[in-house]
Amino acid sequence: MHVDPRALIRDFNAKGIGGKRPSSSAFIWDGEWDQSRGDLRRGSRYRFISDLDEHRDDLSQTERFRQYRSRLESGYPWSSYQQGILLDTEEKIMAYLRTYLGFLDDMAAHGFNAELGKDDLGVAVTRDGRLLKINRGLHRLAMAQRLGLASVPVVVRAVHRDWWERVVEGERGETALARVAEALQHTTPETRPGKRDPGEDQGPIEWPAPRHPDPCADGLS
């Protein structure tokens, strides 16, 4: 499916339900998970990408640079075992930040490339038939939101049992899957806060002007 990234602003936040997460191996999810939502507009990834964009001429002015330098000076440089990164010099910190800025600029020039990330942008369908962001890919989504891209591809990883049962109406097998596939074409992102959100709703933000990919970037006229 394709959605407007600036509409995909709510994600599943387990804090509102005691930190309990549905099984990632299950496609049908029970419980109140869809009532506990975060606001990606206020999330750390969007703030990080926006900060890089706004201070692109001097990345030492970003909040993230100050955080990493503070850890470096305290003798505990930031590291990521998964990424194989150790930011034990200011030069490495700057190089790390420039990498993310480079991803943003590449997306601005060429659009969203789903093949560049390790994981698809996953979403789950709530009991009301709305989409919540789940799992990984939040930095790439934040970049698409910052740029105001028209759409990004998402993959449905799970659905609420109430929605599933309402859609399939007791059918099984291929018939049930066909009904679900049809119903998914009418789902849209959830934009409202949930009843069990871990924090108060802070309202909308002002998005920057969209930057659409340049068709000439790929040699097209």
pLDDT for position 220: 39
Judged by DSSP in three states, 196 sits in coil
pLDDT for position 215: 63
Judged by DSSP in three states, 12 sits in strand
Q: What is the Cα–Cα distance from 52 to 57, expressed in whole angstroms?
A: 9
Q: What is the Cα–Cα distance from 195 to 210, expressed in whole angstroms?
A: 32
pLDDT for position 32: 97
Asked whether 44 and 33 are in contact (CB, 8 A), the reply is no
Q: What is the Cα–Cα distance from 9 to 104, expressed in whole angstroms?
A: 19
The string of pLDDT tens digits covering residues 188-215 is 999 999 999 999 999 999 999 999 776 6
Q: What is the pLDDT along the chain (221 residues), one digit of tens a residue?
A: 999 999 999 999 999 999 999 998 999 999 999 999 999 999 999 999 999 999 999 999 999 999 999 999 999 999 998 889 999 999 999 999 999 999 999 999 999 998 887 788 999 999 999 999 998 899 999 999 999 999 999 999 999 999 999 999 999 999 999 999 999 999 999 999 999 999 999 999 999 999 977 666 554 33
Token pair of 94 as six digits: 């700057």
pTM of the model: 0.92
pLDDT for position 221: 31
pLDDT for position 116: 80
